[in-house]
Homo-oligomer: A and B are copies of this chain.
Amino acid sequence: MKRVTLALGVLVSLALFPAAAQGANIHYWIGAVPTEWNVVPSGRDPVTGNTFLPTQTTMNTVVYKRFTRNWGQLMPNRFWVGDNDGIPGPTIRAREGDTVFVHFRNMDTMFGQSHSMHFHGFHYDFSSDGAFVPGVTGVAANVPVGRNVTYRLRARRGSVGVWPYHTHSPSMHMPESKTLYGMIVIRGRNERKPVRENIVVFSEHLGFQTINGRAFIGNTPTFRSRVGERVQWNVMAIGDSHHTYHLHGHRWRFAGQNIDTRNVGPAESWKFRITEDEPGTWLYHCHVNFHMDAGMVGLYQVAGRSARGTSGGFEGLLAGRP
C-alpha cells in the first residue's frame, strides 16, 4: 500500500511538474554528529564585562555536519554553506526547478538517540517528510544510530525563499536534539544572487540567547561588507521564543512599510536585501531586552567604498559562487 502511494506520487510528480526537469540534481551528505559546543568561547560579554567559566558555557550535544560525496570526509569550512561547525548546520542551497537529495546518516553514538531531518519550503512526497507521526511514518522520521536515509526534495515556484530544517523525530524534545537545525536558501530560477548573504539563526542554549549557537559580541558572527554591495540577510528562529530582529543604521520594506525591526517566531524565516551605503560598525540583535542582555547580539562591519584590505574570505561573501 505504501509502495503504491509512493509510486503514485512519483507519477503525479512527473505528470504535473515537467518544468522541474530543467533544474539540477543536487546531493548533500549530512550526518547527525556528536560534538562538544561552547556557547561563549571568549568566556566574556564585552558590553558588561561579565565573565563565564567553560563549565557554564559548554555542552555535549548533536549537530548536523556536511560530508563530501559518499561520506568521504567532513567538508572543510565553506562560507557559502556555513562554516560546518554545526550550529547552524550546513546551509542547503537550491534554485527553483532543482531536485535536492539529502543523504542523512545518524552518527549519534554519544546519546544513542534516533534523529531525522524535516525540511520546510521544499515540495516532497510524504515519505520524505522526516516528521514522526505515530503509526504512520517509517524509518525516515526516526532514523536509528548507524542508519542512512535519503530525502528527496523539489524546489518549486512556491519554494523560493529561506527556510528552516531541523530534526522531527520523537527525540526532538531532548536537550541534545535542540541543536539539530539549519537553514535552506532557495532562489528563483533567474534571481540575481547577492554579493553577501548573512545567516542569522536565533535560538537558546544553556540559558543563553544565541545567534548561530553563540552568545555575546565576539562569539556571534561578525558580518562584513562594503558600500555598494548587495547584501542579503536571512533570519530565522528555532526553539521556544519569539524574537524581534533589529539591524542598526539600516531599513527595509515589509508589507508596504519601512521597517528596521521585525518579529520572528519559532520556525518563521525571512530575508531582506539592502544595497549597502552605511559605513560603520553596526549592531544587529534581538530587540527583546533580556534576550540581548543574554547574548543575542552581534556586529556588522561596513567598510567605505574606497576601503582596501577587506575583500575576500569573509563569512557571507558569495562572489564567484552559484
Q: Would you call A244 and B257 a contact (CB within 8 A)?
A: no
A235-268 interface bits toward B, Cβ cutoff 8 Å, 1 = contact, 0 = none: 0001111111010110111111111111101111
CB atoms of A269 and B258 under 8 A apart: no
Contact segment of A22-30, A87-95, A117-125:
A117-125
Identify which of A52-60, A66-74, A130-138, A313-321 touches chain B: A130-138
A125 (CB) vs chain B CBs: closest residue: B280
Q: Is the CB of A46 within 8 A of B293?
A: no
- Interface readout for A111-151 with B: 1 if CB under 8 Å, 0 if not? 00000001011011110010111111100000000000000
Query: A16 CA to B134 CA in the complex, in Å?
Result: 56
> Which of B217, B227, B267 sits near A287, CB closer than 8 Å?
B267
Per the bound structure, the CA–CA distance linking A12 and B239 in Å amounts to: 42
Give the shortest distance, in Å, between A185 (CB) and chain B (any CB).
13
Which B residues are in CB contact (< 8 Å) with A133? 217, 281, 283, 299
Copies in the complex: 3
- Give 1 or 0 for each of A262-282: 1 = CB within 8 Å of chain B CB: 110111111000000111111
Contact A262 B268 (CB under 8 A): yes
Number of interface residues of A (CB under 8 A): 79
Bound-state Cα–Cα, A120 to B244, Å: 14
Is A288 an interface residue, CB under 8 A from the partner?
A: yes
Asked whether A5 lies within 8 Å of B282 as measured between CB atoms, the reply is no
Chain A positions 280-316 with a Cβ under 8 Å from a chain B Cβ: 280-283, 287-290, 293, 299, 304-306
| Chain B residues within 8 Å of A278, by CB | 123, 126
- Is A170 touching B249 in the complex (CB atoms < 8 A)? no
A160 contacts partner chain B, Cβ-Cβ < 8 Å: yes
Chain B residues lying within 8 Å of A135, measured Cβ to Cβ, are 46
| Complexed CA–CA distance, A37 and B151 (Å) | 41
Additional pairs, 18, CB under 8 Å, beyond known A241-B288, A242-B288, A259-B268: A5-B304, A8-B306, A121-B258, A126-B280, A129-B249, A133-B217, A133-B299, A158-B251, A163-B260, A238-B289, A240-B290, A244-B265, A244-B266, A244-B267, A257-B270, A261-B269, A263-B268, A266-B289
9 nearest CB pairs, A to B: A126-B280, A267-B287, A46-B134, A244-B265, A255-B255, A261-B267, A266-B287, A263-B265, A158-B251
